[in-house]
């Protein structure tokens, strides 16, 4: 059985560097730009614009529905791709979906931790024996949600408590990491064992609008808290000059360019 975080994909070299004491911000691949477009052509254009930076990219539901598996496979052949489809279904269905996603050559795949232990372990087992196994993540609580939304969906307590509870479950189940907001990184790193990779949306450079995100933080804050990968969408995709915007965020992360 492969040990957690042993991945023969392009992300693996960065993770091993971190284990050897290399600062987490040493590689531009730690910045994942969300390709939130309904037009595959726009997504491809942005990928080409940002190619000089060496950043990674995220494909979510909007672009996946427009471009399908062919687009994912094509981009994954040339770039680190985080396939953000947040699988949440019965264990057998999620296991099959994760296997199909992995066959596209992506570097990261995620599912919802709220799907429970059986679903999480089924997904883990589905990719465990693959030669090119992607990093498998579980979403804790969406960054658009706060305590009120948690209570409305029947979850008592605070959002922070729920995130930590789910992160503990994910660690017990042997996944590689979690998707969490910038506000929970430090506590997950301090309290969850075995340790988890953190992938963090809700990143907003100083002065940028929060949009529909509720639990947000700046790039430098997330790095200081121990964040491993930062996900940024609209601050780059809606910028007048996306390349300059991406470089500004990389600078805030401490990446040498």
What does the alpha-carbon distance between residue 191 and residue 67 come to, in Å, rounded to a whole number? 40
- The answer to whether the beta carbons of residues 234 and 245 sit under 8 Å apart is no
Cα separation values, 192 from 5, 95, 177, Å: 16, 25, 11
The two beta strands, 135-139 and 177-179, are parallel
Out of 86, 118, 189, 191, pick the active-site residue: 86
Q: Which of 150, 142, 140 is nearest to 213 (CA)?
A: 142
CA 233 distance to own-chain centroid: 12
| 24 phi/psi in degrees, rounded to 5 | -60, -25
189: annotated active-site residue: no
- The answer to whether the beta carbons of residues 229 and 215 sit under 8 Å apart is no
Catalytic residues, by residue number, are: 86
């Amino acid at each position: 059985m492969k040990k957690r975080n042993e991945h023969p994909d392009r992300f693996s070299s960065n993770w091993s560097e971190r284990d050897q004491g290399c600062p987490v911000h040493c590689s531009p691949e730690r910045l994942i730009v969300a390709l939130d477009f309904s037009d595959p052509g726009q997504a491809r254009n942005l990928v080409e614009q940002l190619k000089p930076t060496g950043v990674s990219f995220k494909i979510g539901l909007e672009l996946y529905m427009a471009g399908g598996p062919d687009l994912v496979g094509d981009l994954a052949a040339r770039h680190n791709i985080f396939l953000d489809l947040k699988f949440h279904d019965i264990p057998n269905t999620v296991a099959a979906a994760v296997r199909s996603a992995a066959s596209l050559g992506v570097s990261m795949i995620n599912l919802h931790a709220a799907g429970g232990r059986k679903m999480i372990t089924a997904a883990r087992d589905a990719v465990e024996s693959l030669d090119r196994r992607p990093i498998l993540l579980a979403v804790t609580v969406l960054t658009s949600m706060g305590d009120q939304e948690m209570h409305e969906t029947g979850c008592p307590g605070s959002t922070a408590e729920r995130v930590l509870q789910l992160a503990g479950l994910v660690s017990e189940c042997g996944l590689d990491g979690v998707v969490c907001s910038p506000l929970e990184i430090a506590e997950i790193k301090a309290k969850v064992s075995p340790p988890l990779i953190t992938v963090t949306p809700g990143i907003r450079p100083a002065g940028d609008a929060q949009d529909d995100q509720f639990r947000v933080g700046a790039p430098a804050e997330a790095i200081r808290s121990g964040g491993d990968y930062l996900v940024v969408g609209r601050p780059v995709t809606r910028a007048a000059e996306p390349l300059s915007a991406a470089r500004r965020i990389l600078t805030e992360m401490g990446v040498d360019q």
